Amino acid sequence: MKLSDFSYNLPKNQIAKYPVSPRDKAKLLVLDRKTGEMQDKHFYDVVDYMEKGDVLVVNETKVFQARLYGKKEKTNAKIEVFLLRELNKEDCIWDVIVDPARKVRIGNKIYFDDNLWCEIIDNTTSRGRTVRFNQPGKVFQMIEKIGLTPLPPYIKRDPEPSDKQNYQTVYAKVDGSVAAPTAGLHFTEKLLQKIEKKGIHIVPVILHIGLGTFRPVEVEDLTKHRMDSEYYEIPERSAEIINKAIRDKNNVFVVGTSTCRALETSTTAEGFVKPARGWTDKFIYPPYTFKVTQKLITNFHASESTLLLLVAAFAGTDLIMKAYKYAVKNKYRFLSYGDAMLIL
């Protein structure tokens, strides 16, 4: 397999800039891996493909307002600070990206308002910095008020107040992501209640999504690509429910590539899930044998992206590229705020 095998042409007008409302009214392409059949549905129809005893696994990560604008001490130069991840909670140390990087050196302080500032304590890459904030234990709380939603770079517009809610799943609980687990954006409280009422177990895991999700694959030989590490957790109770479903021959529906990577990172040789927490850099691309994921709910991903590679590994490269061609032809909306796909 080569990277170019996963290239397709996406018209710019099919990159969704805003979500549909209500969320579950997005289009849903249902793809059957066994028959190759494709059906045009709406996302709220997803419940029709689930049976009592099945499990729906969701990523409860919460997108935080990661994009900050501040002023450099003395010069008042405007600096963008994009928060990536918290390295040390007690000392309030973070990995960030700064722009313009040439103006930001070790020892500089950047002020965001009267209460929040950070000091540059290390250089990590040409644009990367390590910083120490002055408000231990309060950064997430403070940036909720002054930060901006970290919309993906392909959404060519400034964040709006509505994005703070739109670019967040209704079940998000734990701060940690700089990108939404986008397949989950389509669920509404009403739809989740309908799913539970049918006897489907909704179980949470966590994988905090980093900027690496947008990083392009720059090598034609896929074996040489390296994923960024991301933090994940699989609670003991979630593992128990998933494993019971597997033993009982019920289906495990996985919402999104991030959830899939968390599950596939922590599996036994027998194909069960282990409770775990830690960091994963698991890169899933064809060919790959999935151990836990049985049905996958996902969005339509960018050409040659690691997300598309995972989906192709699940559905088969030829079939998934055929489905993407169908979706383009039939005016599906693509990427984070776009439509969805259910792969059976």
DSSP type of residue 109:
E
Whether the Cβ atoms of residue 229 and residue 261 lie closer than 8 Å to each other = no
The CA distance from 279 to 48, in Å, is 35
Is residue 131 in some structural domain?
A: yes
For 86-128, what is each residue's pLDDT tens digit? 888 889 999 999 999 888 999 999 999 989 999 999 988 788 8
The CA distance from 130 to 128, in Å, is 7
More confident residue, 58 or 125: 58
Is residue 181 in some structural domain?
A: yes
For 130-158, what is each residue's pLDDT tens digit? 999 998 888 889 999 999 999 998 999 99
| Confidence at residue 214, expressed as pLDDT on a 0 to 100 scale | 74
Is residue 243 in some structural domain?
A: yes
205 and 103 assigned to the same domain: no
The CA distance from 85 to 64, in Å, is 10
Percent residues over pLDDT 90 in the chain: 85
For the chain, list the strands marked E by DSSP. Answer: 27-31, 38-42, 55-59, 61-63, 67-72, 78-88, 93-99, 109-111, 117-123, 128-133, 174-177, 201-207, 230-234, 252-255, 276-280, 295-299, 340-343
**Domain tally for the chain?**
2
75 and 20 assigned to the same domain: no
The CA distance from 71 to 77, in Å, is 5
Is residue 97 in some structural domain?
A: yes
Domain ranges, residue 226: 3-63+164-343
In this prediction, residue 261 has a pLDDT band, given cuts at 50, 70 and 90, of: very high
DSSP type of residue 6:
G
Supply the pTM of this predicted model: 0.93
For 176-217, what is each residue's pLDDT tens digit? 999 999 999 999 999 999 999 999 999 999 999 998 777 788
111 and 235 assigned to the same domain: no
Is residue 43 in some structural domain?
A: yes
51 and 81 assigned to the same domain: no
78 and 59 assigned to the same domain: no
Is residue 156 in some structural domain?
A: no
In this structure, how many other beta carbons lie within 10 angstroms of the beta carbon of residue 70? Answer: 21
Bridge-based pairing state of the strands 128-133 and 117-123? antiparallel
285 and 183 assigned to the same domain: yes
Is residue 153 in some structural domain?
A: no
111 and 175 assigned to the same domain: no
